[in-house]
Amino acid sequence: MLFSSRSLFIALVLLLCSFSWGQEQIQSIAFYNVENLFDPSDDPNTYDEDYTSEGRNHWTKELLDQKINQLATAIHQIGKKETGKAPMIVGLAEVENRSVVEQLISHPLLQPYQYEIVHFDSPDSRGIDVALIYRKSIFILEAAKKYKLFLVDPRTQSRRTTRDQLVVSGYWGETALTVSVNHWPSRRGGQKRSEASRKAAALLQQRILDSIQGTNPEMYLVSMGDFNDNPTDTSLEFLTHKSDFRPSFQPMFNPMIKLFKNGIGSLAFRDRWHLFDQILLSKNWQKKENPFFIKAAVFNPAFLRNPEGKFSGYPYRNEVKASKLEGYSDHFPVYVLIGKKGS
């Protein structure tokens, strides 16, 4: 059997992590669109009526508890095969509020990892936000900020808002690390018709990253999210190519491109795989220094895949059957492995 030099390098790194470094020297950073993590209470300021006891989905505390259990089962296993533990950082999309995230990290499968939360309410009409959870024993939080994305409705020319972009900064040991969590506008109405909204989101993210680079060129950056576009689409190229708008911007490295070109996706639509869920890195992660990038992957074990029917193999999304919640999310989680050379 033939192995590429890259594959051999990854295998060697993982072997060293297990025996020479100790497992604390390799970590995973993940992103997961958890698909409609709502509580059953009606928020009068958002369109969350479907996720109430009287709504279309007849959403109850019991169903929420089941969903929390499903998500915790998935999250605590992301990257565990390689690291022996749950992720250091997890970005989340489609959470209604801080309360549901608190319930998630309090689950017995996640509680031992002592996750803390970064969350801000967004002005999204559906009432869904992004959030970030981090293991406080490994990542030391320094600052967090949200950035509003304003869009123009092409029909009315009126300004509207969507999910904020979250930026969290801190330290992994002595390494300064900033993570941005995104959930860009959907493809509702068609990819081309909605493309301008995602380009606007990309330009905001580019501005945020450029500002951080200008303040601290040595900062290790992670830009993650459900971008609602694939790695090769124009909006993502705003983050991976030099910018005419911002000449000082240093393009990011997208390790998900190779996965996508090999036919690997995080969600499926109309019999086609898409890789909307991505994690991009600043290029200093590629240097053979501390810390460094090891690999990127889609976390798609059998239990997260639909077991039967015409959607067999697709992400096993939520479905209520006989008052019981089945499935997890309509997206697979994605993650990257990062490492540090031990003493």
Burial track 214-241 (b if 16+ CB lie within 10 A, e otherwise): eeeeebbbbbbbbbbbbbebebbbbbee
At what angle are helices 98-105 and 61-75 packed, to 10 degrees? 60
pLDDT at 322 over 80: no
Domains in the chain: how many in total?
A: 1
Residue 176 lies in a domain: yes
167-201 pLDDT tens trace: 999 999 999 999 999 999 988 888 888 899 999 99
Residue 6 lies in a domain: no
Q: What is the DSSP string of 149-189?
A: -EEE-TTT--EEE-PPEEEEEEEETTEEEEEEEEE----TT
Residue 8 lies in a domain: no
Residue 333 lies in a domain: yes
Closest alpha carbon to 166 in 225, 211, 215, 86: 225
pLDDT at 155 over 80: no
Q: What is the mean pLDDT of the chain?
A: 90
Residue 103 lies in a domain: yes
Query: Which pTM value belongs to this model?
Result: 0.91
- Higher pLDDT: 328 or 152? It is 328
Residue 64 lies in a domain: yes
57-100 pLDDT tens trace: 889 999 999 999 999 999 999 999 999 999 999 999 999 999 99
The predicted structure's pLDDT at residue 310: 85
Residue 134 lies in a domain: yes
CATH number, domain containing residue 270: 3.60.10.10
Residue 114 lies in a domain: yes
The predicted structure's pLDDT at residue 15: 52
How would residue 1 be classed by pLDDT, with cut points 50, 70 and 90? very low
Give the domain range for residue 274.
26-339
> How many other CB atoms are found less than 10 A from the CB of residue 112?
10
